[in-house]
Structures are given as structure tokens and as C-alpha cells.
Amino acid sequence: MYKGRFRRQLKQSTLCLFCILCIFICIKSAAANRTTRLDSLKTILSKAPAPDVAIKTLQELSNLYRQKPEEVGYLHQLLDISNRVDSVQVVYTTAAHLSRYYYDDNKSDSVVYWAKYIDSIGKSRKELSDGLFEAYSYVCLDHLWMENYELAMNEAIRLYNLACSKNNTYGQIRCGENLGHIYQAIRRDSDAIAVFQAALDKQEEEGEKLTFSIRLVSYQLESLLRINKLDSAEVLLTRYKDLLDRQDKVNKITGSIYPVDRYRWIMHSFYAELYLKRKEMEKAKKSIACATSYVGKETISNDYAVFAYLYIQARYNKETGNYTAALTYINELLKSWKTPDCLQLKADILSESGDAQSAILAYKDVISETSKINNEAFTRQINQLRTLYDLNDKEMQKKELEISQMNVNIKEHQLIISMSVSVILLLILYILYFSLRRTRRLKNELQKEKEALIESEKNLRVAKDKAEEASQAKTTFIANISHEVRTPLNAIVGFASLLSDPACTEDEKTEFSSVISNNTELLLNLVNDVLCLSQIEAGNLSFTIRTVELVDCCRNAMDTIRHRIVDGVSLTFTPETPSFLLNTDPLRLQQLLVNLLVNAAKFTEAGEINLSFHIDSKENKVDIIVTDTGCGIPQDKITQIFKRFEKVDEYKQGTGLGLSICQAIANALGGTIRVDSAYTQGARFIFTHPC
């Protein structure tokens, strides 16, 4: 029994080795054949063959060197020969291939140049070529990948209408493919599927082309999986595999180099996504293993195939709980594709792995990237509107110049006619002389008016921008103030209505009155902050500088806020000296100190709030310090805390204006205010006042 098993294993091993040897020999043979074919074609070209032979040779060489630097040289040679012998169809095809080469090489200007080159030849010959639609499809896609969705859509629709009006089937198919890409980019996948299917049906009516079908089916699969039409996707994947097998046979028979491996890589990634969405993890694992076998092959470029592979690896490892591997794949993916979907996946991985802090930062990145895309789209639309306005303005100027030129021509004609009448020659010359002076004067006046209008337009744009900024600031201000005013008002109204309730006891009424009083004080402080802010904005904040006792100012500020200190918190004052005279505005100084002490009281529920000052005789300044043992200020908030409406805790009462007002007062008194970042037991604010 064991001998039989050993013989079977030996037979299977021998057969495997034989197959591997055959494959190796075939690869070597194909490589040798390709090298031999290249040498043969170059030899034919070196002998200066007839134009028709040279054209066929150059076409084959450019195909063999597809998307390599050598291809450009052969295409230019092909274009020169085709122009000399007036082989216009070859010219169209060659220029379209140049447009494709520069599109893959990310050179937008060259893509547009060759598209316009084909367009100009077609217009001069009054004909519409397939090469025009191929070249302009690359222009459209270039707009799309640059996220100029409006330009891409306009270009695709323009070309589609042109193809329909001329009944050009190839143009309709290429434009349908472009429209599908645009719908995918803006997440209208159902529309994309319909458009791709229409293009697929159209090209099959005219005779199926495998390369077209492979591309269109690949695009359809992406959208079907995205919107979870899994049964349809599974059927289409079977067709996709069949198309790739057929194209592989064509490659072997004709020696073509169509990138079948690239699409097989994508296919296995699609299979993995299908099984992953169905929770068939073993099948998903096998599909990912198949996809992994294509990693690192030289024939596959760093394109969508890489994106699909890395994305499904990250999702699979996330679903299986291997968060470390998932993060590795998603971070690798984000190096080249920083899209909201990829950022969202990273945030979900971090969240599920339990790294809440990193997950929060990742979710912020998602929001930031989405806002950035929206802002860029808005900016592009504004720029397009401005461009249209400038174009219209130039058209109006051109028409005005044409009208002026017509007037000048009429006057010249009148002058020629008048010269035939010798009797009135002097009179006409006299009239024309004064007319010319008047025209010049009017021209100068018009030029001045034009310059004034341009200057006025600039001023209006500046005023518009300022108005928009002011409107945004007003909106933000009203939103914050309305929220902060509503809370104490609700408390005042609610408890005031309860006071009139006969069922309330005297103790309850006393408690309700206390609540009303506290909220009234909160509302009054809010109004005072807003009024103070408005005075700062208007530059009307008055200061009366005189010599005051600093110790008294500090004690008055402490007495003002003492009732706000909660039980369990001690309010202390530790002056460096028992008496110190300071030239300042006592009202504004106490306002600053009260704001700092109120801020400390708000965030300190246990421990101590300390007010102190330190005199620096050498620097001629005094540091007034407020220290608490509260929750402290996060490091990322320290640089933002003095901004308006900025709050450490959004759930605490207050407008977020107190520290902003403190900073304005400190600046007006010639001093500075800062947060001591080295203090970690709570928060410490240091106000430096010149002596």
C-alpha cells in the first residue's frame, strides 16, 4: 500500500516538474521570438523601405514598445511618413496613440495638443474620424482624474452629441465609456452600470472587440460590487473570466501584449470582495491568495489593479480581526490614493481595534478630506464662472472695436467720395479735422471711463469678499450667542413659572429664586462679554491709567467671584509683598482678573484656586498669576484657547469670549497673557503687566 502511494506521489511530482519545464521553455521561446521579431523589424526599417512597408513596420514596432519611451519615436516617424504620402487614416490613428501615450504619462498639455491636431485635420478635410473620439476621450478622462468633473462632463456630452449627430458608432461607445467613468467618480453607480451596458451592447452590435468588452465589464463589476448587486456581479465575473481566457489565447496566437495579467489581478480582487460581502471567508481567502500571486509582476503597472488589491486586503484583514495587517495595507494604499473611502476604512479599522484616539483623528481626516474636495469643487465652479465672465467681457470689447472700425471705414469712404467734389473739398476737410479731434477726445474719455470701471470692479470684488467674511463671522457669532442665551433664559422662564405655583414650598421657592439669580447672572455676564467685545471691535474700549494698589485690586476681584467657588475648593491669595503700587486702569485690570478667576472656578471641582503676583524689578514688570487644580487645558488647545468662541469643554456654560477679552485688555495695557504649558496639575494663566 505504501509502495503504491509512493509511486503515485513520484508520478505526480514528475508530471509537475515536466509541466513547469514546458512553461519555462515556452516563456523563453516567446521572449526569444519577440527579440528576433524586433531585430527583424529594425533591419527592415534600416533599409529605407517603400512608404507602405515602412508604415506597417513602424506600426508593429510601436505596438511592441507600447507605453515605453521608444514608442514615441516610432510614432513620430510613422506620423511623418503618413503625412508625406497623405495616408490620413494612419495620421488619425497615430495622433490618437500619441494622445494615449501622453495621457498615461500624465502630460495633460500634450494630450490636448494631439487631440486638437486631429480635430484641425478633420475640419480641414470636413470629415469625422474615430481617432478624434479616442484622443478627446483621453482629454475627458484627464479632466476627470484631475477632479474637474464639470469640464469632464461637458466634454463627454459634447462628444456624445457629436457622435450621435454624425451616427459614429465608435464615438458613441467611447463617449459612453467616459460618461460611465464620470458617473462612477460622482458615485452614481446605477447610472454608470446602465451607460457601460449600453456601450457594451453597442459595440457587440457592430462586432465584439475583446479589449473593449474586457474594459467595460471590469468597470461594470466595480459599480455592481459597490452597490451590493452581488448576484449580478457573480454572473458578470464568470463572463469576465471567459473574456480574459479568450484574450489570452489571442495574445499567444498573434503575439499581442494586451495586459491580461493586470485584469486577472483585478478579477481575483473582485471575487474576494464578492465573497467578503457574502461572509464566505474561506472563498475570500482563496481569491486573495490568487490575487497575491500577481504582486510584483513587471507587466503590471501601479494603477487601479494595485488599488483594488490593497483595498480588499485591508478589508479582509479587518473582517478577520488581523488589524495590524489591515493597517499596513491601508497605510500603503493611502500613499497613492488618499480618498475619503480609504480614510473611512482606516478609521473603521482603528475603531474596531480599540485605538479610539487614533480613530478619532482618522475620522477627522475623513471630514477634512471631504470638506477639501467640496471646497475645491466650489472653487473650480467659481473660477469657471469668472472665466466665462472674462470671455464675455472680451467678446463685448471685440464687438465694440469692430463697430469703431466700421465707423472709421465709413468715414474714410465718405472722405474719398468728397474728394471728387472739388467745390466742397476744403469744407469737408475742415469738418473731418474737427471730427477727428472729437473722436480722439471721446476715445480718451472712454479709455478713462474704462479704467475707472476696471478699478471700480476691483473695489467691488474686494468689498464682496469682505462682505462674505463679515457675513460668515456674523453667522458664527449668532449661532454661538443664540445657543448660550437660550440655556439661562430657559432656566429663568421655567423656574419663574414654578414660583407662581401654589404647590411650591418656601424652601423650593428659595431654591428656584437662587437658580433664577444664578442664570440671570450668567445672562448678564454673557451680555457684558458681548458688549465688551463690540467695544473692542469698534475701538471704543476706554482706559483710565492711574496709580492703584495691586493688592486691593486682587482682593476685590476675588471677592467678586467668591460666590462662584464650589464646596471643596479653596480660593487663596499669596501676594509677594503686602503692598505694591501699579500704574494701570483698575477697572480693566479687575475685569481681566475676574474673567481668569471665573474661568478657573468653572473648571475646578476640587483642590485650590490661587491668585498671586511676582515682581521682576530688572525687567520692570509684574507677573499676575492665576493657578487652579482643575481639568487643565489639552496641549492641542493651548494655541487656540485665546480665540473667540474657543472652549475647552463644549458642555460648560460660557461663550468662549472671556479669554479673548482678557487678551484684548492685556494688549491695550501694554502687557501679555499666556498659558504656562509646563504646569500639569490644572491650568495656570500668567498676565505680565509693565510697571
- CATH number, domain of 495, equals 1.10.287.130
* Pair 523, 657 in one domain: no
When pLDDT is cut at 50, 70 and 90, the band that residue 356 belongs to is: confident
Is residue 167 one of the residues assigned to a domain? no
201 closest CA partner among 190, 212, 191: 212
Cα separation, 3 vs 201, in Å, equals 59
Total residue count of the chain as it appears in this document: 691
* Pair 509, 603 in one domain: no
* Pair 515, 568 in one domain: no
Is residue 302 one of the residues assigned to a domain? no
Q: Average model confidence (pLDDT) for the chain? A: 80
* Predicted pLDDT at 322: 92
* Pair 557, 613 in one domain: yes
Cα separation, 281 vs 635, in Å, equals 44
Measuring CA to CA, how many Å separate 351 from each of 48, 324, 328, 343, 370?
A: 68, 13, 15, 12, 19
* Pair 671, 634 in one domain: yes
Residue 392: pLDDT over 60: no
Is residue 502 one of the residues assigned to a domain? yes
Is residue 471 one of the residues assigned to a domain? yes
* Pair 576, 686 in one domain: yes
The secondary element (H helix, E strand) that includes residue 584 is strand 581-584
* Predicted pLDDT at 645: 67
How many domains, the chain? 2
Q: CA end-to-end span of the chain, whole Å?
A: 105
* Strands 607-616 and 569-575, sheet pairing: parallel
When pLDDT is cut at 50, 70 and 90, the band that residue 387 belongs to is: very low
Q: What pLDDT, in 10s, does the model give residues 372-382? A: 766 665 565 55
* Pair 573, 647 in one domain: yes
* Pair 506, 637 in one domain: no
- Domain end marker among 538, 560, 590: 538
* Predicted pLDDT at 224: 92
DSSP state string for 291-351: HHTTTT-TTS-SSHHHHHHHHHHHHHHHHTT-HHHHHHHHHHHHTT---HHHHHHHHHHHH
Cβ atoms of 305 and 266 closer than 8 Å? yes
Mean per-residue pLDDT, 192-198: 88
Q: What pLDDT, in 10s, does the model give residues 416-434? A: 777 777 777 788 878 888 8
CB crowding 437-471: b at 16 or more within 10 Å, else e: eeeeeeeeeeeeeeeeeeeeeeeeeeeeeeeeeee
Q: What pLDDT, in 10s, does the model give residues 15-39? A: 333 333 333 333 334 444 556 667 6
- In this prediction, what percent of the chain has a pLDDT beyond 70? 84
Crossing angle of the two packed helices 304-319 and 281-292, in degrees rounded to 10: 140
Is residue 486 one of the residues assigned to a domain? yes
* Predicted pLDDT at 648: 62
* Pair 686, 546 in one domain: yes
- Domain end marker among 488, 514, 538: 538
Sign of the alpha-carbon dihedral angle for 529, 531, 532, 534: positive
The secondary element (H helix, E strand) that includes residue 97 is helix 88-104
Cα separation, 647 vs 651, in Å, equals 9
- CATH number, domain of 635, equals 3.30.565.10
- Give me the domain span that covers residue 608: 542-690
Is residue 231 one of the residues assigned to a domain? no
* Pair 682, 550 in one domain: yes
Q: What pLDDT, in 10s, does the model give residues 574-590? A: 998 888 998 898 888 88
All three cell numbers of 625, joined, read: 498669576
* Predicted pLDDT at 365: 80
Is residue 54 one of the residues assigned to a domain? no
Is residue 395 one of the residues assigned to a domain? no
- Domain end marker among 512, 538, 564: 538
Three-class SS of residue 113?
Answer: helix
Beta strand extents in 12-115 (DSSP E only): none
Cα separation, 578 vs 64, in Å, equals 94
Q: What pLDDT, in 10s, does the model give residues 637-657? A: 877 788 776 666 665 666 667
* Predicted pLDDT at 684: 93
* Strands 581-584 and 569-575, sheet pairing: unpaired
- Rg value, the chain, Cα: 39
When pLDDT is cut at 50, 70 and 90, the band that residue 483 belongs to is: low
* Predicted pLDDT at 8: 37
State phi, psi for 572 to the nearest 5 degrees: -125, 155
* Pair 521, 552 in one domain: no
Cβ atoms of 125 and 165 closer than 8 Å? no
* Pair 510, 564 in one domain: no
Residue 260: pLDDT over 80: yes
Cα separation, 269 vs 314, in Å, equals 12
101 closest CA partner among 131, 69, 125, 133: 69
